[in-house]
Amino acid sequence: MIFDKENYVVEKVTVAGETIEVRAFRNRLYVDKPVNAAYQQLNIFAPECFFHGEDINGYSLENAPVFMPNSVGGYKPGELCEPGENAWGPQGVPNTIFRALQHGYVVVAPAIRGRSQQDDAGNYTGKAPACIVDYKAAVRYVRYFAAEIPGDAEKIITNGTSAGGALSSLMGATGNHPDYEPYLEAIGAAKARDDVFMASCYCPITNLENADAAYEWQFAGVNEYRRMHMRMDEGGRPAFVPKDGGMSDLQIRVSEELAKLFPPYVNGLQLRDEEGRILSLDENGEGSFKEYMKRIVMDSARKALAVGADLSGKDWLVWENGSIADMDWFGYAKDITRMKTAPAFDALAMDSPENDLFGGEDINLRHFTRYSLEHSQCHGSCAEEAVIKLLNPMPFIRDKQAVKAPHYRIRHGECDRDTSLAISVMLTLMLQEQGVEVDYHSPWNVPHSGGYDLEELFAWIDEACK
């Protein structure tokens, strides 16, 4: 394993009239035994002024945080990224990497294997747990060469959105855990630690084996779905067009059955609120956990109201003397509508991204829940329990062998329907129970997306790093 610090280029990058000068160390293999070399390499960027004794926002070559965003979406391969223009969201504006460099961070951007990849022999090379194993290997590389790589390798911040947010949440929860060791060894990862300092997670699509039940606990009874379909616009950029429909009788029955599985799951977690009160649900899905969830959504509405948002169309909010006093949870679910039919993740026909994720070396699609295995419409098999666990931060949070990131920032939009809001809330509560500082918020009227509040994200990083 090598890192040649003399092999770099200095470049000016200009986006929308703003220019940064960076030193780029590109295409560094972060493993000794790559399975797919193109997706097991990383790019390192640092502000060029650091090498001339200057600093930015108090950050220098030695003390700059190392921001490590992943570009994984949909559990597909994460591409090797660059500072430049935003590929998603608003056009013509600088991307997160550009902004992070401008702010004075070192950026390490790894490519990561994904579920769709095969080698020449036709073997699948990016099924679970490849994505999280690669992310860990990239962090280990940075630690291994900490003396040569710019920035402070004890201040690593992972960041991602959706499946990428899930990977960031795993990085924060599973540091150095021995369960990942055989996989890291197999690809020749550096012998170094992989725990991180901060995990930034936008709408994490995680806890997949419980996400179907959580989704139906939130959406059962909402039988219409509104899906956004991705198309390319004339400029070759992703654009979303709506596709609507209703669930079949079978899907409605599945929804009702799955919803019943959620209370036993959440009750088994024994989560507590800030006052130490147990958060639970009765068999009808009612109880203190639901009240807690309502508080999250009402806090979102109250914050929006305070900055002048118009909430007049939200007839599920209950007002008293001009302030929000309560809400109708089902009215909220109907308003935002479901995006996915039941089961939302472990599809009975095995046609979801997650069925693809949990395939194996010689099998493309598998189930990962007992319910969908038992109700499979295609005689599907099930992924190994041990592999399913490696993709879920929850079982590691209370495990003393897993080093936790001391700081988490989780954002999950109030009208995100890709997964239940309960998923990020359960994650947050369990982390807080273990003494992790979690900055959680569900921003009002924000759908499934990330990186929309970089100034606040950077302020959170600076607060902990300075």
**Cα–Cα dist 84/303, whole Å:** 32
Provide the 10 A C-beta neighbour count for residue 443: 18
* Four-residue CA torsion sign, 342, 346, 347, 353: positive
CB of 162 to ligand DHB, least distance (A): 3
Burial class (CB in 10 A: 0-12, 13-18, 19+), 372: buried
Q: Give the position of tokens 């309560």.
A: 326
Residues 6+ apart with CB under 8 A from 459: none
> Which one, 73 or 150, has the nearer CB to ligand DHB?
73
Name which of 47 and 73 has its Cβ closer to ligand DHB. 73
Task: Please state the closest distance from residue 167 (CB atom) to ligand DHB, in A.
Answer: 10
Of residues 75 and 440, the one with the C-beta less far from ligand DHB:
75
What is the closest distance, in whole angstroms, from the C-beta atom of residue 291 to ligand DHB in the complex? 27
Q: List C-alpha distances in Å: 465 to 67, 157, 278, 307, 384.
A: 12, 10, 34, 29, 39
DSSP SS3 for 461: helix
Q: Which residue is nearest to ligand DHB (CB)?
A: 162
Residue of 249, 156, 141, 260 whose CA lies nearest to 199: 156
Q: Decide whether 75 or 444 has the Cβ nearer to ligand DHB.
A: 75
CB of 245 vs ligand DHB, minimal distance in Å: 16
Query: Of the two residues 205 and 304, which places its CB atom closer to ligand DHB in the complex?
Result: 205
For residue 254, the one-letter residue type is V
Provide, rounded to whole angstroms, the least separation between the CB of residue 77 and ligand DHB: 12
Q: How many CA atoms lie within 13 A of 7 on its CB side?
A: 7
Q: Which residue's CB is nearer to ligand DHB, number 22 or number 254?
A: 254
> In 226-239, which positions are buried (b, 16+ CB within 10 angstroms) versus exposed (e)?
ebeeeeeeeeeeee
Q: Least Å distance between CB 417 and ligand DHB?
A: 9
Nearer to ligand DHB, 115 or 136 (CB): 115
Q: Which token pair is 255?
A: 């929804």
Of residues 205 and 425, the one with the C-beta less far from ligand DHB: 205
User: In the bound complex, what is the minimum distance in angstroms from residue 385's beta carbon to ligand DHB?
Assistant: 21
Q: How many CB atoms lie within 10 A of CB 15?
A: 18
Residues in the chain: 466
Nearer Cβ to ligand DHB (226/272) = 226
Q: How far is the CB of 384 from ligand DHB (least distance, A)?
A: 20
Q: Which residues bind ligand DHB (CB under 6 A)?
A: 73-75, 162-163, 205, 353, 418
Kindly state the smallest distance separating residue 299's Cβ from ligand DHB, in Å.
24
- E strand spans, 72-140: 106-110
Q: Would you say 124 and 118 are in contact if contact means Cβ atoms under 8 Å apart?
A: yes
Kindly state the smallest distance separating residue 271's Cβ from ligand DHB, in Å. Answer: 24
CB 88 within 8 A of CB 443: no
Rounded Cα gap, residues 262 and 27, in angstroms = 44
Nearer to ligand DHB (CB atom), residue 89 or residue 264:
89
Q: How far is the CB of 383 from ligand DHB (least distance, A)?
A: 16
In degrees and rounded to multiples of 5, residue 333 shows phi and psi of -60, -40
DSSP state, 162? T
- Nearer to ligand DHB among residue 227 and residue 302 (C-beta): 227
* Continuous H helices in 29-129: 96-103
